[in-house]
């Protein structure tokens, strides 16, 4: 079983189908987030995401539409559509996320981010403490923030585009994405 854990935010991901396993067709992950877990509003230019609840209740926003998904319910965030998921239920929620087409870059972002968190290199929100690490992950992950986070994203991406950052990226891939 290919499982990663972020001890800072208490999130767990099991890779059910990776980009390599599906020949680039899809990535499927089982995700567990705790109460108050989730992510900010963002979008992806190269893949859609379909969320399917296995246990608990997942709040999701796709575009301006907000709803709570219960067990067996799903929602899809098409490419280039603002979306986020979060947990307001007070209990952990477990769900699958399917990326179409697959994204090895996104898979690597998760592996690196969770590895940095395990190594004490993440802040209390689970994001890497280093501007360079954040920039590398944002460039690699094909995700884009909206609103206030988009300003911070531009700063991170700037730091993630240096020659030094390219060497650090190689080191991160070697350490966390074997």
Strand partners, 2: 15
Query: Do both 84 and 6 map to the same domain?
Result: yes
Query: Do both 89 and 9 map to the same domain?
Result: yes
Residue reference for tokens 């007070």: 90
Query: Do both 23 and 84 map to the same domain?
Result: yes
Q: What is the pLDDT of residue 72?
A: 97
Query: Do both 58 and 9 map to the same domain?
Result: yes
Find the CATH number of the domain harbouring 19: 2.60.120.10
Query: Do both 86 and 115 map to the same domain?
Result: no
Q: What is the pLDDT of residue 152?
A: 74
**Quick one: pLDDT band at residue 104, thresholds 50, 70, 90?**
very high
Least-confidence region, from 84-88, 111-115, 136-140: 136-140
CA dist., res. 143 & res. 106, Å (int): 8
- DSSP per position, 59-91: EEEETTEEEEE-TT-EEEE-TT--EEEE--SSS
Distance of CA 66 to the CA centre of its chain: 19
Query: Do both 122 and 51 map to the same domain?
Result: no
Domain that holds residue 114: 104-176
Tens of pLDDT, residues 25-72: 999 999 999 998 999 899 999 999 999 999 999 999 999 999 999 999
Q: What is the pLDDT of residue 144?
A: 77
Q: Name the domain boundary from 68, 100, 132.
A: 100
In percent, the amount of the chain with pLDDT more than 90 equals 77
Query: Do both 15 and 90 map to the same domain?
Result: yes
Q: What is the pTM for the complete model shown? A: 0.91
Query: Do both 13 and 82 map to the same domain?
Result: yes
Q: Is 147 left (phi over 0), alpha (psi -120 to 50) or beta?
A: left
Query: Do both 136 and 164 map to the same domain?
Result: yes
For the chain, the domain total comes to 2
């Amino acid at each position: 079983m290919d499982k990663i854990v972020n001890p800072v935010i208490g999130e767990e991901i099991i890779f059910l189908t990776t980009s390599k396993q599906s020949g680039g067709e899809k990535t499927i992950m089982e995700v567990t987030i705790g109460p108050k877990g989730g992510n900010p509003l963002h979008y992806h230019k190269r893949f859609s995401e379909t969320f399917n609840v296995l246990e608990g209740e997942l709040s999701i926003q796709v575009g301006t539409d907000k709803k709570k998904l219960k067990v067996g319910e799903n929602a899809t965030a098409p490419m280039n559509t603002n979306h986020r998921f979060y947990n307001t239920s007070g209990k952990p929620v477990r769900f699958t996320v399917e990326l179409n087409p697959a994204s090895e870059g996104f898979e690597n972002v998760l592996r690196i981010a969770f590895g940095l968190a395990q190594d004490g290199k993440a802040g209390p929100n689970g994001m890497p403490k280093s501007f360079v690490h954040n920039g590398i992950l944002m460039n690699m992950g094909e995700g884009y923030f909206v609103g206030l986070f988009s300003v911070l994203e531009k700063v991170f991406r700037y730091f993630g585009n240096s020659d030094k950052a390219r060497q650090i990226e190689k080191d991160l891939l070697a350490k966390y994405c074997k």
